[in-house]
Structure 1
C-alpha cells in the first residue's frame, strides 16, 4: 500500500511543473498479530526505494502499535469527575492504566472475551465516541507527556520523525 501511494504521488508530481507536494506521511496501524515487524519493514522499504527515485520528497512514517487509538489514549487526561471515574473503573478491570500502557491493549472487539482489552473500545468508553474529545488528547496534552507515554506505542518514534524530517522542511519554506 505504501509503495502504491508513493508511486501515485510521484506520478502527480511529474505532471505538475511546480512542485506542490513536499512531504508524505505514511501512517499505519500495525495491528495484525505477528505481522508488526513485517508491516513496519514494508513502510521503511517503501521509503528507501522511493528516496532513490525522488530524493526531494520527505516521507515520514507513523507506525501505531497496535492501533492508532493507542496514540490517542497516550494523550488522554481526564477533564471531568465523570472521566476520572470511568478511567478508574477501566484501570480496575484491566489491572493497568490504559493511558500509560496503551500498548498492552491487544484485544479484538470481535471476540467478546477480548472486548475489554481493545484500544478502540477503551477509547470509546473514555471519550464517549466524541471526536472533539479525541482531538483534545493530542492537541492539548503536553508534547513531553506524549513522548513519554508513547514509547511503546510508536508515538514517540513518529513525533521524532516529524521533528527531524518535517519541521526543518517547514521552517525553510517561504
Structure 2
C-alpha cells in the first residue's frame, strides 16, 4: 500500500511534532508568532500550509525544515512516537486521518489471523 498526503507529506510529519527541547519549543513559538510568524500553530493546523514556493511563509517544506533542522531521525519520530489518537485529531483536515483509517480498515484485516 502506498500513502500520499492530501496536501503534502510534510504536513503529516508536522502534525506529529511535539517539542522535546527548549530549542524546539522556541522554534515552534517563532513559527507561530515570531517576526515572520504564520499567525497559527502549524502543528495543530498543518492543512493551512498551502504555499507551493518552498521559501514562502506557508510552505510545509519550509516549516518542516525549521522544526526538524534536516534531521531525518527527528522527522521519523514524529510519526513513530506520537500517539495515534493525537495524529488522528491533528490529521482531520490534511488527509492523515483518512489514510490511517484506510490502513486500519483495508490493510490490517489482510494480516489478521482468522483461525
Tell me, yes or no, whether TM beats 0.5. yes
Name the CA distance, whole Å, in 2 between partners of 1:78 and 1:173.
Answer: 41
What is the alpha-carbon root mean square deviation over aligned residues? 1.5
1:1-174 correspondence to structure 2 within 5 Å: 25-28=1-4, 64-92=5-33, 93-110=37-54, 115-172=56-113
From the CA coordinates, give the structure whose radius of gyration is larger. Answer: 1
Structure 1: runs of 5 or more not aligned:
1-24, 29-63
Q: More strand per residue: 1 or 2? A: 1
Structure 2: runs of 5 or more not aligned:
none
Which has the bigger relative contact order, CA under 8 A and spacing at least 6? 2
Name the CA distance, whole Å, in 1 between partners of 2:66 and 2:19.
Answer: 12
For the 8 Å contact 1:109–1:121, the answer to whether it is kept is: no
CA apart distance, 1:109: 2.6
Equivalenced residues, count: 112
Q: TM-score, normalised by structure 1?
A: 0.61
CA apart distance, 1:148: 0.3
Match of 1:17 in 2: none
